[in-house]
């Protein structure tokens, strides 16, 4: 009986040990068979990757390594493409307590370590044992019953502490029905992936046509690299809930790289939800801490229109202006229609458009830049580039009356002087207040909206043009 009982107990012990033991498997980016990266223009990226991984039967632990340091663990979704019902994830942990000298020493507070220091006076290596009492704002050691506030030398640890990993890792506790190779598809969001658009417009001599090229700049600071990735970009304002982020390890120096444009359009654009999706028609590699530029569009002979505009403030209409109104800037604006008929037509992501023009010597010079918003097809793009040098605008209040407490009447004379060697057209934009009425005018105007009128005048070369009008404003 004693022998039989011993055999039963031994069997139970073996059985319990087998049931409790968990197989630990690892998967790195070397197992990756495909990866798709979707980048949003609000510092967010969606990663969908497929890895081929051998999974033992039963319950085990899989360490899914080489994930971004800025991953959002709550967004992770994983499934087996080969046997979804045969493999289930029971628990997930995100190991972001990465190895560095400070964290290693934190794990040894209260424990014995070794310090190696070179004794330059006796030309020898000294080794001492010390107990690390604190690693908070400086190290405190106990050596031979004395307290040392810091100590020179190299700190040597006996072993690597547990719960520290060399790189960000997702750890899954899984249950597998059978031992087999699975194609695991994992998708997750990560911060610190961003993109923006930049445009270059080169205008012709007459300021009537422009060649426009566009580039997208993808900035990968997510803490991971994506080799041979299918890249997609989403343009639009995607709602995100603000939340406090986990402290991120410091990043390395960024690398700058520019991809040459492939023949034909590099991106295919298509609507997506209430946004626009730009799908790169080839794979590309996004290295960690890399800024990559890829061609977005290339359009030639786009019809443009240059305008000179003068615009005033509203408040002058309800007061007697005792001093001369300061000389007003004459703004230079270029506009064009983003239409197929105008050799454009692709929905333009928001970005900065820089305008260049060749001088008389054939050298290309910078003429100004402006930020454009997300612009659908068939909409107009307007660029404010700067202020005209040779066109001057001045304004004088020639009369003012306060008819009642709420009613004001004033008369204005706007003088435009042109010092160029050719005639120019200038738009004079007048924002008005309340219930307004133009009592008299020296030139026709166009009503832009309920509170704005516009005069368009021709100013001869080396000459001037005056516009005079009287307006009644009721508040």
Task: Please check whether residue 438 is in contact with residue 416, taking contact to mean a CB–CB distance below 8 angstroms.
Answer: no
Largest Cα–Cα separation, the chain: 123
Q: Which residues make beta-bridge pairs with 160? A: none
Does 290 reside within a domain?
yes
Q: Which residues make beta-bridge pairs with 418? A: 391, 463
pLDDT score at 265: 57
Q: Are residues 289 and 369 in the same domain?
A: no
Looking at 256, 279, 297, the residue that finishes a domain is: 297
pLDDT score at 475: 83
Q: Are residues 255 and 338 in the same domain?
A: no
Does 227 reside within a domain?
yes
| Residue 130 CB-half CA count within 13 A | 30
Least confident of 63-67, 91-95, 119-123, 207-211: 119-123
Q: Are residues 329 and 437 in the same domain?
A: yes
Q: Are residues 321 and 464 in the same domain?
A: yes
First to last CA, the chain: 109
| Residue 356 CB-half CA count within 13 A | 12
Tally of CB atoms within 10 A around 94: 18
> pLDDT tens-digit profile of 174-206?
999 999 999 999 999 999 999 999 999 999 999
E strand or H helix that includes residue 36: strand 32-40
CA 144 remoteness from chain centre: 55
- How does residue 305 score in pLDDT terms, banded at 50, 70 and 90? very high
Q: Are residues 279 and 340 in the same domain?
A: no
Q: What is the DSSP string of 302-340?
A: EE-EEEEEEE--SGGGGS---SPPPPBP-EEEEEEE--G
- How does residue 241 score in pLDDT terms, banded at 50, 70 and 90? low
* Alpha-carbon dihedral 54, 161, 159, 116, rounded to 10 degrees: 140
Does 71 reside within a domain?
no
- Domain that residue 107 falls in: 101-156
Q: What is the DSSP string of 375-428?
A: B-TT-EEEEEEEE-SSEEEEEEEEEEEE-SSSEEEEEEEEEEEE-SSS-EEEEE
Q: What is the Rg, in whole angstroms, of the alpha carbon atoms belonging to the chain?
A: 35
Does 55 reside within a domain?
no
Q: Are residues 239 and 111 in the same domain?
A: no
Does 23 reside within a domain?
no
Opening angle at CA 187, ends 183 and 191, nearest 5:
145
Q: What is the pTM of this model?
A: 0.71
Tally of CB atoms within 10 A around 217: 17
Whether 117 has a pLDDT exceeding 90, the answer reads: no
Hey, CA dihedral for 213, 214, 220, 224, is it positive or negative?
negative
Whether 248 has a pLDDT exceeding 60, the answer reads: no
Whether 448 has a pLDDT exceeding 80, the answer reads: yes
Tally of CB atoms within 10 A around 97: 14
- How does residue 5 score in pLDDT terms, banded at 50, 70 and 90? very low
Which own/partner pairs from 93-96 qualify as long-range (CB within 8 Å, at least 24 positions apart)?
93/170, 93/171, 94/168, 94/169, 94/170, 94/171, 95/163, 95/165, 95/168, 95/169, 95/170, 95/171, 96/69, 96/168, 96/246
Q: Are residues 239 and 343 in the same domain?
A: no
Q: Which residues contact 378 (CB under 8 A, 6 or more apart)?
A: 337, 338, 339, 345
Mean pLDDT, rounded, for 24-38: 93
> pLDDT tens-digit profile of 151-165?
888 888 888 776 566
DSSP 167: S
Number of domains the chain is built from = 3
- How does residue 322 score in pLDDT terms, banded at 50, 70 and 90? low
Does 83 reside within a domain?
no
pLDDT score at 51: 96
Q: Are residues 278 and 405 in the same domain?
A: no
Does 169 reside within a domain?
no
Q: What does the block give as tokens for 302?
A: 């786009």
Does 37 reside within a domain?
no
Q: Are residues 280 and 330 in the same domain?
A: no
Q: What does the block give as tokens for 97?
A: 């307590």
Mean pLDDT, rounded, for 274-282: 83
Whether 168 has a pLDDT exceeding 50, the answer reads: yes
Tally of CB atoms within 10 A around 101: 9
Mean pLDDT, rounded, for 168-173: 88
Mean pLDDT, rounded, for 305-333: 81
Q: Are residues 318 and 455 in the same domain?
A: yes
Q: Are residues 273 and 332 in the same domain?
A: no
pLDDT score at 108: 84
Q: What is the DSSP string of 101-141?
A: HHHHHHTTTTSEEEEEEEETTTTEEEEEEEEEEE-SSS-EE
Looking at 250, 265, 297, the residue that finishes a domain is: 297
Q: Are residues 146 and 196 in the same domain?
A: no
């Amino acid at each position: 009986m004693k022998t039989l009982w011993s055999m039963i107990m031994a069997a139970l012990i073996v059985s319990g040990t087998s049931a409790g033991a968990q197989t630990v498997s690892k998967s790195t980016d070397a197992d990756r068979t495909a990866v798709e990266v979707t980048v949003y223009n609000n510092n967010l990226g969606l990663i969908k990757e497929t890895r081929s991984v051998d999974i033992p039967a039963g319950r085990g632990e899989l360490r899914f390594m080489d994930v971004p340091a800025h991953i959002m663990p709550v967004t992770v979704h994983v499934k087996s493409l080969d046997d979804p019902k045969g493999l289930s994830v029971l628990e997930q942990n995100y190991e972001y307590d990465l190895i560095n000298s400070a964290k290693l020493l934190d794990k040894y507070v209260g424990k014995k370590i070794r310090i190696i220091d070179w004794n330059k006076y006796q030309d020898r290596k000294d080794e001492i044992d010390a107990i690390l009492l604190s690693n908070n704002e400086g190290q405190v050691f106990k050596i031979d019953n004395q307290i040392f506030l810091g100590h020179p030398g190299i700190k040597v640890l006996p072993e690597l502490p547990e719960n520290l990993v060399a790189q960000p890792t997702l750890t899954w506790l899984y249950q597998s029905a059978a031992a087999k190779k699975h194609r695991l598809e994992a998708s997750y969001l990560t911060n610190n992936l961003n993109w923006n658009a930049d445009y270059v417009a080169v205008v012709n001599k007459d300021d009537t046509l422009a060649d426009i090229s566009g580039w997208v700049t993808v900035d990968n600071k997510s803490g991971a690299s994506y080799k041979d990735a299918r890249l997609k970009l989403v343009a639009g304002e995607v709602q995100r809930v603000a939340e406090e982020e986990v402290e991120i390890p410091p990043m390395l120096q960024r690398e700058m790289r520019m991809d040459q444009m492939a023949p034909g359009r590099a991106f295919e654009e298509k609507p997506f939800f209430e946004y626009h999706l730009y799908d790169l028609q080839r794979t590309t590699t996004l290295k960690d801490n890399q800024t990559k530029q890829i061609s977005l569009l290339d359009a030639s002979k786009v019809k443009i229109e240059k305008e000179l505009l003068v615009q005033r403030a509203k408040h002058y209409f309800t007061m007697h202006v005792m001093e001369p109104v300061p000389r007003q800037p004459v703004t230079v604006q270029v506009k064009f229609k983003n239409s197929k008929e105008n050799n454009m037509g692709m929905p333009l992501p928001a970005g900065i458009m820089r305008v260049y023009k060749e001088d008389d010597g054939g050298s290309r010079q910078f003429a100004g830049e402006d930020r454009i918003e997300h612009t659908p097809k068939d909409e107009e793009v307007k660029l404010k580039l700067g202020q005209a040098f040779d066109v001057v605008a001045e304004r004088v209040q020639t009369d003012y009356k306060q008819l009642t407490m709420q009613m004001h009447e004033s008369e204005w004379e706007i003088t435009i002087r042109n010092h160029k060697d050719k005639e120019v057209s200038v738009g004079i934009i007048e924002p008005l207040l309340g219930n307004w009425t133009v009592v008299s005018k020296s030139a026709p105007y166009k009503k832009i909206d309920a509170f704005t009128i516009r005069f368009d005048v021709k100013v001869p070369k080396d000459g001037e043009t005056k516009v005079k009008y009287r307006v009644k404003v009721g508040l």
